Amino acid sequence: MKREAVICIIKSHFRPPPEPTVVLMSGECKIIGEEVFPWTRKDYEARDDVVWMFDGFVLFPKIPVIGGEHFVMPPVSFPELNESNGCLDVVSCSPAPSCDAMIREYAGLPVDTKLASIIVAFNRVKGFDASIPGEGSVKEHSLARSHLRRLS
């Protein structure tokens, strides 16, 4: 993630993601399968061009696969951070379990399966006043952390 700021958030619960967090890609970078959420399931149930791999994932067998296939954890939007709070080009992802463990070890946090982590990266709006009413001026490196603290 090439952005000005990258933060990791670890907490017990996140809101559902706005788009799939896992897709199956062909060697030509075509989506040949994707995660399905309970609220998007109806979009696939009547379709005859999908195969259910399991309850939360569909395959698109009519899309030709050239060059093999691989699972990808694509970037996911993070609407809580946006231009109104000084952030541009915001993207998030869920780290793989091994990466999650390394992040927690680096931060001195226990590897607790009851907690989830997400990595959020963004660029800053040039000239944005990062002061938050009642908190005074917020240093640039903690801008997102302050906004996220208010959101949780």
Tell me the pLDDT tens digit for each residue of 73-90. 888 999 999 999 999 999
Question: pLDDT tens for residues 98-143?
Answer: 888 888 888 888 887 788 889 999 999 988 876 544 443 333 334 3
User: 13 lies in which domain range?
Assistant: 5-17+75-151
- Identify the domain boundary among 72, 92, 107: 72
For residues 48 and 80, membership in a common domain is answered with no
The string of pLDDT tens digits covering residues 39-81 is 999 999 999 999 999 999 999 999 999 999 999 988 899 999 9
* 79 and 64 fall within a common domain: no
Residues 84 and 31 in one domain: no
The answer to whether residues 108 and 59 belong to one domain is: no
58/47 same-domain check: yes
DSSP classification of residue 20: -
**In this structure, are 46 and 108 located in the same domain?**
no
Q: What is the DSSP string of 111-132?
A: --TT-EEEEEEEEEPTT----B
Considering the domain architecture, whether residues 41 and 87 belong to the same structural domain is answered as no
Residues 6 or more apart from 46 whose CB is under 8 A from it? none
